[in-house]
């Protein structure tokens, strides 16, 4: 039986491929275990500078496999206290979501935990938590509004309506909209551009940008200024 998540490394770029195409890459405990293991490899391997997450087949990720609700531990799949937002927050390296098809509910949450998204013209997006009566738990209520603004996030989550790739691009959910056959080519080009930058500074900038998610603007700005002062003090001592 083929593994539910594939992992590849090429030229300092790691690729995570969700590999349950017959189930539209729906999330179960086994997929989460392998996803988290892949993320651990990215975190620990100094030769990996950036990672890409995508799906095999026609879907990025259709959300939680409903068959997994009764039997699977989805909030702590490895029984080590690690949940999906924890594993992404622990990664100081850029994670790009290459959205090759539908990214629905839990699949959209997975995408939102990436640093930014590049989408195929065949991508579609939806948050159906309210329709299904399922409580969001992987950051939907916070990350979606960060991406598209509060009013649009409310419309998406309150209605459960599907967004086309073009609409997702227009509202800022995805950075670029790419012809389907060119999705991975363009995503890898972006990853290669990241690899050409100063890796240590990329990590610092990522941390500074993400700081505002847990603080107001003035606190985030002050945090950036203080760390900049520390950087220059260290730099001048060299």
pLDDT digits (tens, 9 = 90+) for 90-111: 999 999 999 999 999 999 999 9
Least confident of 9-23, 138-152, 171-185, 206-220: 206-220
% of the chain with per-residue pLDDT over 90: 77
pTM of the complete model? 0.91
What pLDDT is recorded for position 8? 97
Q: 101-157, pLDDT tens digit by residue?
A: 999 999 999 999 999 999 999 999 999 999 988 889 899 998 999 999 999 999 999
Q: Indicate the pLDDT class of residue 232, thresholds 50, 70 and 90.
A: low
What integer best gives the mean pLDDT of the chain? 92
Q: Is 83 left (phi over 0), alpha (psi -120 to 50) or beta?
A: beta
Q: 14-35, pLDDT tens digit by residue?
A: 999 999 999 999 999 999 999 9
Residue 116 φ/ψ, nearest 5 degrees: -160, 165
For 1-65, the three-class secondary structure string (H helix, E strand, C coil) is: CCCCEEEEEECCEEEEEECCHHHCCCECHHHHHHHHHHHHHHHHCCCCCEEEEEECCCCCECCEC
**Cβ partners under 8 Å of residue 230, min gap 6:** none
Tell me the CA distances in angstroms from 213 to 80, 151, 169, 223, one per residue in order. Answer: 25, 18, 22, 13
């Amino acid at each position: 039986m083929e593994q539910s998540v594939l992992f590849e490394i090429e030229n300092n770029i790691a690729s995570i491929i969700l590999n349950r195409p017959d189930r539209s890459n729906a999330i179960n405990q086994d997929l989460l275990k392998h996803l988290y293991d892949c993320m651990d490899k990215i975190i620990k391997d100094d030769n990996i500078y950036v990672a890409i997450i995508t799906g095999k087949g026609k879907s990025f990720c259709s959300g939680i496999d409903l068959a997994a609700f009764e039997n699977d531990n989805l909030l702590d799949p490895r029984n080590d206290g690690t949940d999906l937002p924890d594993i992404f927050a622990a990664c100081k390296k850029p994670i790009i979501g290459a959205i090759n098809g539908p990214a629905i509910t839990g699949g959209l949450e997975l995408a939102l935990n990436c640093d930014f998204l590049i989408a195929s013209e065949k991508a579609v997006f939806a948050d159906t938590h309210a329709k299904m009566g399922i409580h969001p738990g992987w950051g939907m209520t916070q990350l979606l509004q960060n991406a598209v603004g509060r009013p649009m996030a409310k419309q998406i989550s309150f209605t459960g309506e599907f967004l086309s790739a073009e609409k997702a691009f227009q509202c800022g959910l995805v950075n670029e909209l790419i012809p389907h056959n060119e999705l991975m080519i363009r995503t890898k080009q972006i990853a290669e551009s990241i690899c050409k930058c100063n890796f240590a500074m990329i990590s610092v900038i990522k941390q500074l940008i993400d700081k505002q998610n847990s603080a107001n603007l003035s606190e985030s700005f002050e945090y950036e200024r203080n760390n900049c002062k520390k950087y220059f003090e260290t730099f001048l001592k060299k």
